[in-house]
Amino acid sequence: MSSFEQQPGSLQRLLPTDPSTIAGYRLLGRLGAGGMGVVYLGRTDTGELAAVKVTHSDQAEDPDFRARFRREVETARQVSSPWAVPVTAADPDAPEPWLATAFVPGPSLAEAIAAHGPLPTRSARLLGSAIARALAAVHTAGLVHRDVKPGNVLLAVDGPRLIDFGIARTTGDTALTATDVVVGTPGFLAPEQAEARGAEIGPPSDVFALGCLLVYTVTGRLPFGAGAVDALLYRTVHDDPDLSGIEDDLATLLGACLAKDPRQRPTAGQLAERLVEDAPLGADWLPADVIRTIAERSARMLALPDIEETRAPTAQAAPDRRKLLLGAAAVVLAAGGGWGVWAALGGGEDGNKAGPSPRKRQHVIGVQADLTGPQQAMGIEQERGARLAVEAYNTREDKPFPLQLEVVDDAGNTAEAATVGRRLAEDRDVLAVLGSTGDYTTQAALPAFNEASTALMTVSAGLNLLTRGTPPNPAIIRTCPSHPIASSQLAYLLQSYFLQGKVTDPVPGLLQDREDDSYAWQYITMINHTMRTLYGYRCHPRVVPAGIDAYEPIIKGMLAAGIDAFVHGGLLPSAVHCARALADAGFEGPRVGGPYLLTPEFIRQAGKAAEGWVVAAPVLDPLVHSPAKRFTAAYRKRYGTAPRYYAGESYDAVSMMIDEVVRAARGSTRPEPSAVLTALRKKTFDGVMGTYQFDAAGDLKNPRTQLYVVEGGRFNRVMAAPAKDPGKG
């Protein structure tokens, strides 16, 4: 039940509609919520903490759901391992079925790698051995986990823990033999799972997934790459894994785990022994920065507010929960966590001084942007648009409270994006955040915002997996089209051109520059698919390796194939090479590029070869968009220059946030970020750059890609790309 994931770093206050107790558990706060129900942090009379999963009443009325919930309880209870989080209590037959598991305050492996980067080989071996032993216990019980992934491994000072048996099955379960049903997380699926070969799915499938997980643990990348799900599944079935950068003996072992034939993989028990012959997991099994994160999570649990008693106290008082978690903190200190960790746990410099008094709560809108990196021009515009929105609000006489703007620079770097994103997400005063500028910085920061239930609204990141990944990302809201949507609208544009020109047998040329493989793949694959399946065209795709400069032979080959139009999917340098090569060859057909070309640098570097190019981007020009006239004037007054692309959309995004922050506060001192997030996803907003409304995944409804043509050395907007197949009216 992926929508029940434990989220220890994002404890939220109980809502007025939440119960104060469930069975023998006093509820301290919310750990997470999803379509299936709510996960609470609970405490027993003896002081033990637990993650208590409670289903929504409407789910409980579904007999099939109740049966699945009962199966999860039964499945998890069959597994006995120190490395698997145990079920401590459950009632599948309650009016609202619930189960409780031991609470682990540490981050997931996915969060740790996003925040701190890949783990050292020694840590990865120790982690892999422990999880392999947990899987051996799963398999001994006659079960298959089927969803081994970084999000289902929690990190503690004494070792990792495997969680979530929601889709586990017995090896003889008929559900395993179902065809055409892919269950699990792409990127961590075995070939037999990717192809839904149900009869072949068994314990070796979990070993394959663990191999993928360990590759990710030591490299920060998946062995079969990233990108759209269908491409990822195809590579899993047909391609060799990428094991570069991994120590030779470990790479050999992981290669055996990733064998296409399940019979050639080691068992979980064999894998555990080959990873580490004897696996003592001391407090130093993880790097110091990850241990520090675990300590900080424990510190937040120590800082929980007391709860009011709703029944008479027993003769024996429950232990102080501080004592329950100080054991973990002491281990951290022994491992060299130092004064900084002790301070985080509430002690002073000498261990006795009181910490600083709590500061007054504030209302803050966050901005995470690339202000000094490769996309700094775009990031600066986004920060300026956000600042104008906050300043406009603060001039209102009827404002219920002032707002502050907290701006962080991730420099277009994914590791920095994860770090500064977590800082914003964990700041108790930040109510919603605009960011990030790029695809991969947004992806790196997003786990922290998911965990904190804080809205992360992007106006420029089009990566499909941000909103369509598995599991879903509940915190993301996107005001621009995804790359596949934008490229499908480009395909409609080309079809309109061919229809108007009465081209009977067109051959679109499609160039995919692998310098940014995921973006280019999504762009070109969608256009290729649309052209072939909807219109039956003979597309001529060409995939170009990253880092090459000799584009003339490539362009000559595409022209020799008789292409009638040229579509570039990639970054600025290759687009400049292509523009020059096409101009030298005298090609006058449509030349189209994506959003990375909407920059003066394309015109400057390509020179006259840029003339006539059409650039598709998810943004309007505020200088020619009449509803943005007042915004443009305010921008000029504030910054002494005209606004550029993305400033207006950023102004609208932050104005939306402010609208819901004020509404959610309803006269109180501070609304909950989760309430702002929920309201934003359901919101319809008329801004200076357009109307915004979002679907269940957080994507903009009815998105439109804008088209600009280079004329006279500048970009001129010509139209919005068709939003539907022009051949169908």
CA–CA separation, 707 and 704 (whole Å):
10
Show the tokens assigned to 153. Answer: 């491994």
Cis upstream peptide for 668 (omega within 30°): no
Q: Is 147 a catalytic residue?
A: yes
Catalytic residue among 147, 370, 513, 516: 147
Q: In the sheet that 364-369 helps form, which strands lie side by side, from edge to edge? A: 404-409, 364-369, 430-434, 455-458, 476-478
CA–CA separation, 346 and 341 (whole Å):
9
CB atoms < 10 A from the CB of 65, how many? 17
3-state secondary structure at position 671: coil
How long, in residues, is the chain? Answer: 729
CA–CA separation, 247 and 549 (whole Å):
32
Contact 662, 400 (CB under 8 A): yes
Interacting residues of 447 by C-beta distance below 8 A, sequence separation 6+? 110, 111, 114, 418
CA–CA separation, 452 and 427 (whole Å):
9
Question: Of 328, 250, 256, 257, which is closest to residue 291 (Cα–Cα)?
Answer: 328
CA–CA separation, 649 and 682 (whole Å):
18
CA–CA separation, 333 and 338 (whole Å):
6
End-to-end CA, the chain? 42
CA–CA separation, 404 and 213 (whole Å):
41
Contact 639, 375 (CB under 8 A): no
Read off the amino acid at residue 85: V
Show the tokens assigned to 354. Answer: 């009181």
Active site residues: 147
